[in-house]
């Protein structure tokens, strides 16, 4: 999507031992399959000050993750089947487990761990509910798609399954 900023340049400054002896740039952002990052979102690896130096840590995003528009994400890890609504701010070193729904306009404070199956919302975020058992299950019946529209079709996720959406973009 347009206007997405992935700050891959902010990689870990720790020296990585490599067999070839050359300077190897470590991966700073890894993103899984079928993951959508919407327009206007920024993904910036989290950093920590230590002895006057800024160290960046790699960010890991799993499969089937939907990141809504205008989000700022500095989490350390986001697991699979996570839905992040629009205008969400995820502060540094947040860990989001599987099957989590983050409601729009949420601010997740730094270092927060969000257990799997939760719905979080608010500023600061707190657990406001649980996702249903059917979250992230394609149900076998989703096949076919609507067959209308192209990449500009309204982004729409139902039940945490993103395969349809991803298919419609590609």
Partner 1 sequence: MAQPFPYTYYACDCYDNNKPQTVAEAAAEEERDLDPRHPRSNYSLYPLEHLLYCEDCQQIRCSRCVTEETLNWYCPSCLFEVPSSVVKSDGNRCTRNCFNCPVCTSPMTTNSLDTSGDNAAPYTLACPYCKWSTVEIDIEFEKMNGISGQLAKIANGGRQIPTQKERDKERERRKELEARFRDRSALSPSEDSPTMDTWREDHAPSRDDLFSNLSAFYKTQIETTTASNPFSHSDINFSSPSAYSRIMNMYQSTNKRNKRDKPSPVREAASTLEGLSIHDPSTDVAAIERIKTEGWATTLSPSQRHAQTNPNIRFDTELRPLATLLCTKRSKRCRSCRHILSKPESKITSTRYKIKVLALEHIPRLSIRALPSYFTNPTQPPTPAAPHTPYNALKSGIPTHFLLHLSNPLFDPIRVTLATPSTTPGKVQSRITILCPKFEVGANTDVWDDALASSLSPIKHASQDLNQIEAGKIWDRGRNWTSVIVEVIPGFLDNVPGSGLGPGLGEKFALDEKKKKAKQEGEDTDDELDEDEDVLEIPIFVRIEFEADVNAEERSLGDSRGNKNEREKREEAFWTVVGVGRIAAV
Q: Does 170 bind partner 1 (CB under 8 A)?
A: no
* Binding residue (CB under 8 A) for partner 1 from 30, 118, 165, 170: 118
Distance CA 31, CA 45 (A): 12
* Binding residue (CB under 8 A) for partner 1 from 22, 51, 53, 170: 51
Give the count of beta carbons closer than 10 Å to the beta carbon of residue 31.
18
- Pick 26 or 124: Cβ nearer partner 1: 124
Q: Does 36 bind partner 1 (CB under 8 A)?
A: no
Least Å from the CB of residue 24 to partner 1? 29
Q: Work out whether the CA dihedral 153, 137, 120, 64 comes out positive or negative.
A: negative
* Binding residue (CB under 8 A) for partner 1 from 3, 13, 39, 124: 124
Q: Does 134 bind partner 1 (CB under 8 A)?
A: yes
- Pick 45 or 136: Cβ nearer partner 1: 136
Q: Does 24 bind partner 1 (CB under 8 A)?
A: no
**Binding residues vs partner 1 (CB under 8 A):** 51, 91, 97-99, 103, 107, 109-119, 124-127, 129, 131-135, 137, 139-154, 156, 158-160
């Amino acid at each position: 999507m347009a206007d997405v900023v992935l700050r891959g340049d902010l990689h870990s400054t720790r020296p990585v031992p490599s067999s070839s002896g050359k300077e190897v740039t470590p991966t700073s952002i890894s993103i899984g399959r079928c993951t959508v990052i919407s327009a206007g979102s920024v993904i910036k690896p989290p950093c920590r000050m230590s002895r006057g130096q800024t160290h960046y840590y790699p960010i890991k995003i799993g499969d089937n993750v939907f990141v809504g528009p205008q989000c700022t994400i500095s989490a350390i890890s986001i697991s699979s089947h996570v839905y992040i609504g629009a205008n969400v701010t995820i502060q540094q070193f947040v860990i989001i487990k599987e099957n989590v729904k983050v409601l729009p306009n949420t601010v997740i404070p730094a270092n927060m761990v969000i257990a799997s199956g939760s719905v979080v919302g608010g500023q600061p975020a707190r657990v406001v509910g649980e996702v249903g058992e059917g979250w992230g299950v394609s149900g076998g019946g989703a096949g076919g798609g609507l067959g209308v529209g192209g990449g500009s079709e309204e982004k729409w996720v139902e039940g945490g399954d993103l395969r349809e959406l991803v298919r419609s973009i590609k």
